[in-house]
Structure 1
C-alpha cells in the first residue's frame, strides 16, 4: 500500500491521516475504538486530528489509551468550541481568548500530555456552520495573541487556522501558521486562491468535509456522474475517487477522513494507490471540470459549532 508523505509542522507525515470525530459512534464499544485507532497506525497513519469536544472528550480519551510514544503520531487538536453535555445542544462556541486558553488546557488534560504539537483555531468566518454573535465576535488578532502566548509558554507547538477567510489567513501569516482546515472538496472549491497561497507559504491544507454533503444543502462528491464514471473505470468507489482527487490536486493537501468502521478505514488508506492515469483518457480532466458549488450554508442553531 502506497503512503505518500509531506512535511507538516516540521514532521514528515503520511498525507492520509485520520480524523477522530466519528470515534464517538463507538462510545459503547471502547475496545473497538482503541483497536480501530491501533489499526490506523499499523496502516501508516501518523497524523490524527481531534478535539476535546469530540464526544465530550471520548475521542481524546481513546487516543490517549491507543497511541504509544513510539508510534510517532502527530496529534492535532482544535479550539474555538467546547463540549456542553448538560446543554440543549452538545457544543457551545468558545471564541474569547480566555476560553481558547481554557480549551488548550482541557485538551492537554484529555490527551494526557504536556504539549500539543499543533492546535487549530476554529474561527467561524467561512464555510458551513454558525457565525459568531455577541461577545463571541472576537478579533483574529486578539485570538492570535493568546495562541502565540501559549506557543511561547511551550503548551502548543504550532498554530493552525480553521474556517478562516483569505484575508484572515493573510493577516495571520506573521504569527506563523502551520495548516489551514477549511471545508473543501471536488464539488466545493471556494478557497482555491487560499489553497494556492498555502502552497506558496509551505502551509498544509487539511480539508474537512472532503466529500462534501455532510449537511443538507451541501453538494456531494459521490453524486457526481463524472466521479462514478472514473470510479467504474478504476474499479474503486466514488468516495475513493473524491479523496484521491484531493491528493492529486495539490501537494500540500493532507487528508483526515474519519470513520468508525474498519473496512472503511482500510479503503481510505488505499486511496494513496489510486493513479488516474490508469483510467480512461481524460479522467482527471473530467473531474477537474466538475462544477464547484459554494459551501457557504448556515448549519445548526446558536451555540452549536460544526
Structure 2
C-alpha cells in the first residue's frame, strides 16, 4: 500500500483532500453542504481546496461555517479569476496585480480569516480553460511580486501555481512554491516533466480534472478498457482506479476530488485503501496519454 501522507506547505497532510467546487450544487441546501464538509473532516480530510469564485462565494462561506480551528484543516484557495454572476462563464479573468490583491482580500473576507494558508496563482497558460486577452496578459514576474508582497505582509502563508507551464514553474521557483495545480490524469499526462520537477523540489502536485472528461474532448480515464478491467478485478469502481493510480504514480501527488454526495465522498476517501500491484500498474501505465488542451472559453 502506498504512503497516505505527504508534506505540503510545511505540514503533513492526508493525501486525499476535498475540492469544494461541487458545494455550489448545494446552494439551496446549505445545511447539507456544511454536513458534507463535516463528514469529510470526520473521514480524515485535512486539506480543502477552494476559491471565492466557487459558487460565487458559497464554497468559502460553507468552509467558514463548517470548519473549526481544532480540525487543523489546511485551506488552499486561488486567485487569478473572480466570480462572474450572469456571465457566459461563471468566472472572469483577474490577472493584473491589483486584481490579485483584491482577490486575496475577498478570500480573506469570505473565509473569515486574517491569513490564507496557501494561495494558488491561477495562470492562464495551459490546460483547458480561459486564455489571457488584452490587459489580462500579465508577466509572471509582476504577479509573483504582488503575491510575495502579500506573503511578506502575513496575508498569505504559502504560494502555489495553477495552469502553469514548465518554464513558468522554473521561473517561479526562487519565490518559493508549495504546490502546482494543473489538469492531469492517467489518460492525459502532458505535464510528466513538471511532476518530476515538483517531486525533486519537494513541491506538492495537486491535479485537477484527475479523471479527465470534465469537458467535451478531454480524455476520460473511466473510458479506458484497462481501467475497467482493473476495477473489475479489484472489486472497485473505474473512478477509484483512476484516483488510486495517481496516488501510486508519485509520492507528492495530493488528490482533491470534489462531490456534493456523501456516498461519493466515502468512495473517494476509500481510494487510499486500494493497492495496485506491479502488473496492474504496468498495464495502466501503458495507457496512451492524450493532450488535454481543450479551450472552454
Under a length normalisation based on structure 1, what TM-score does the superposition of the two structures give? 0.95
- Tell me if 1:76 matches 2:76: yes
Structure 1 counterpart SS, 2:36: helix
Q: Which residue of 1 aligns with 2:127?
A: 127
Aligned counterparts, 1:1-306, within 5 A: 4-277=4-277, 282-300=279-297
8 Å CA contact 2:159, 2:177 repeated in 1:
yes
Structure 1 counterpart SS, 2:106: helix
Distance 1:169 1:158 in 2: 15
Distance 1:86 1:128 in 2: 21
Per-residue deviation, 1:91: 1.2
Q: Deviations over 1:185-233 (max 9, x none)?
A: 0000000000000000000000000000100011100000000000000
Do the aligned partners of residues 269 and 3 (structure 1) sit closer, same or farther apart at CA in structure 2, a change above 3 Å counting? farther
Distance 1:295 1:86 in 2: 27
8 Å CA contact 2:3, 2:251 repeated in 1:
no
Alignment RMSD (CA, Å) = 1.2
Do the aligned partners of residues 296 and 118 (structure 1) sit closer, same or farther apart at CA in structure 2, a change above 3 Å counting? same
Structure 1 counterpart SS, 2:100: helix
Q: Deviations over 1:30-78 (max 9, x none)?
A: 0000000000000000000000000000000000000000000000000
Per-residue deviation, 1:87: 3.6
Per-residue deviation, 1:282: 2.0
8 Å CA contact 1:33, 1:62 repeated in 2:
yes
Distance 1:29 1:133 in 2: 37
Distance 1:89 1:250 in 2: 34
**4+ runs deviating over 4 angstroms:** none
Distance 1:77 1:223 in 2: 31
Per-residue deviation, 1:13: 0.5
* Gap runs ≥5 in structure 2: none
Per-residue deviation, 1:176: 0.2
Per-residue deviation, 1:88: 4.3
Per-residue deviation, 1:4: 1.0
Per-residue deviation, 1:284: 1.1
Q: Which residue of 2 aligns with 1:304?
A: none
Under a length normalisation based on structure 2, what TM-score does the superposition of the two structures give? 0.98
